[in-house]
Chains A and B, each alone.
Chain A
Amino acid sequence: MTSDSTTAITTPDASTGDIRTLRSRKAGHRRAVDPIYYAFLLPALILFTLCITMPAVIGIFFSLTNSIGFGDWEFIGFTNYVAVFSDPAIWASYGFTFGFAAVTVILVNVIALFLAVLLVSRIRFKTALRTVFVIPMVISGIVIAYVFNFLFSNSVPELGAATGVGWLSESILANPDLAWLAIVIVTAWQAIPGTLLIYIAGLLSIPGDVYEAADIDGAGKRQQFFRITLPLVAGYVVINVILGFKNYLNAYDIIVGLTDGGPGTATRSIAMTIVTGFTSGDYAYQMANAAIFFVIAVVIALAQLRVTRGRSVL
């Protein structure tokens, strides 16, 4: 979420041209840097190395062993990696996670953009409504998950029974084919506010005179949205889609609170399988899984850099 909010703050002021000229100016102008800058950089660098880089390297190192987290171990080469690739449980978790992330990212962005357009238009109680919509963002995922767990298991089935709607009267969480939908709904419920904020920022950065001109030319609201609004917030769409997708790939807390990977193993995410490595002595094996997942995350991050640079949003 933090990365979302920083983009939200920086992007609206930085109109595209400015950033480019700023960059080229910096590049062409080399001068001695005050060493104090490096001194300030140092604590962050040390912490990052100690807390992120080193554990990652240690983890990758252990993925080449048969360690269970303590005690003796020996190198077993790439056996763990071979085993990961031939493990249907792990394939299933990747399939579920990517499918879930793709569906969620589409749902979240469509709804958030729709709400954002409403919330910047001239309606009453705009500020109050914006506040209401942002509330889900500040509640912890596991709390939301437990609340929805109760709703899906008890309230919704009761409602279904009372109204005689058959398909509602059975808990969606108990249905292996539909449980993932519940996770999509809850994740979207929590993720829409952050996305919404970025879209509002994006919409506010569109100058009003463009719409005035469109009005004069006789464009309808619909045409204005598809011909003006959408192209002008395209950069924000890209940001939201990529950041969102990356976040949803890490899905963990909401799933644990809702289905705990069930029914059966229908909703086990990648993150959940990796955590079993710590809790059940499959340390080295899941480290291999984590290393593969890390590579995928890096690929996505690089793709994000390329795309966003092209769109010149960042």
Chain B
Amino acid sequence: MAHRALRTLAAGIVLALAGGVLAGCSSGGPAEVRFHLSKPEAIPYFRDLIREYNDSQDDVEVVFDTSSNLQAGFLRGNPPDLGLLNYNMEMARFMERGALSDLGDMPEAERIRPDVQELVDQYATYPGRTSVLPYSVMAASVIYNVDIFEQHGLEVPTTWEELLAVCDTLQAAGVTPFYGTFKEPWSIGQGWFDYSVGGMVDVAAFVEEINELGTEIGPDSEVSFQQTLKEPAERMMQLAEYANPDAPSRGYGDGNLAFANGEAAMYLQGPWALGEIAKTDDQLKLGTFPLPMTDNPDDLKVRVNIDLAAWIPESSQQKEGAREFLSYIMQQEVMDEYNAEFLGFGTTTDAAPATDERILAMQPYYDDGRFYQGVTKAVPLTIPIDNLLQGLITGGSVDSTLSRLDQEWARLALRQ
């Protein structure tokens, strides 16, 4: 494998050299702005938008780039001129090292909700810059089958006790309360663990503190995985008891199909699953509610992630053109239309509210800023947290899994 990896690297270097040569050949005419977007579902939408924009003026020619490797692009100083993609820890690294330019002076930056902009800063910041503008937010919580709830006379639970009561009622009636897809580690991290932790713990504060602790994290530190997250993890294990018995061998696709066929009442997935479920049954009545983890309904929160965020690299030669196109796609009606189509929530103060029945219930939480970013997303990918959680949920021990996370965290802090 060492060889294979090295060969890939070599191929990258050769391509980089070739790319450099080609880039030097670009000629006059309208400024060519390379626009990077990789969310597969959204490609047709933005392709139309680009065509409209290119036809409407002659100064800027936007070129759609849906496939280039970002890491390689930044590495060789030839990143796309404008990026619009999922914002996460990996992306934050580019920002942290100053690779993204300041967009704070754009009028569009003023329109972003401060508490949404704050989500960007939770991963990393660069002094004096607003390098990333959130474009669309996805809110995720428990997806539930409205008909099954009604058949058993169940209300949406708002406390931990009520949640357990709902599960017991369903189970007594022979209905599987939760559909688990434990074969796919990400679904455990995203749904089961993030919801459990987010419902009990202030995730942003926790992440900030463990980042400060670094190598000091451990059984005796003030916050740690093994202490702070112990209770949520134990409650998650309790809920996992209510999942389908074959959950360990079911994947995401199996889960969508089974849930669409009414094989379970609740599903710990994000809105991206709604479209997949609709492929099987688009008449199914579905709703969402935040997973209650405490006895206080005020603690209810939804999990959010910045599904699309815009940035312009510092090394771009076409910053002006990129900014113009960014202003174009950040017009309020364009953003609203996008969010309506892809079940997203607006990031600006004047955004239109969600209209889709299935995610409507999350709007008030989103409006009030009662949301968190998943704790698993704050752990660098090099720590296989989703896999460790898979080991936990399929029969591991809470204490040893969480202390293993502490150790991994400390080890990573030591070498980076």
Contact = CB atoms under 8 A, between A and B. Distances in A.
Co-complex (A, B):
yes
Contacts of B90: 280-281
B360 interface: no
B387 interface: yes
B9 A276 contact: no
B182 A71 contact: no
B6 A176 contact: no
A88 B5 CA distance: 23
- In this complex, which of A268, A275, A280, A285 has the most chain B Cβ atoms within 10 angstroms of its Cβ? A280
Contact of B71 (A56, A70, A86, A173): A70
Interface residues of A, number: 60
A294 B5 CA distance: 11
A174 B415 contact: no
B205 interface: no
Nearest to B249: A171
A263 interface: yes
A8 interface: no
Contacts of A68: 93, 416
Interface string A268-290: 11110011111111100100001
Interface of A: 50-52, 54-56, 58-59, 66, 68-72, 76, 79-80, 83, 86-89, 153-154, 157, 170-171, 173-176, 249-250, 252, 260-266, 268-271, 274-282, 285, 290-291, 293-294, 297
A174 B249 contact: yes
Given A277-B382, A297-B2, A55 B7 contact: yes
Interface residues of B, number: 47
Contacts of B6: 52, 55-56, 59, 290
Nearest to A152: B249
Contacts of A261: 384, 387
B249 A275 contact: no
B182 A174 contact: yes
Given A262-B185, A262-B387, A276-B382, A271 B415 contact: no
B370 to A, nearest CB: 30
A173 B183 contact: yes
Interface in B83-123: 90, 93-94, 97, 99
B15 to A, nearest CB: 12
A155 to B, nearest CB: 11
A263 B380 contact: no
A278 B4 CA distance: 13
B381 A262 contact: no
B18 interface: no
Given A70-B74, A252-B1, A293-B1, A265 B13 contact: no
Contacts of A59: 5-6, 9
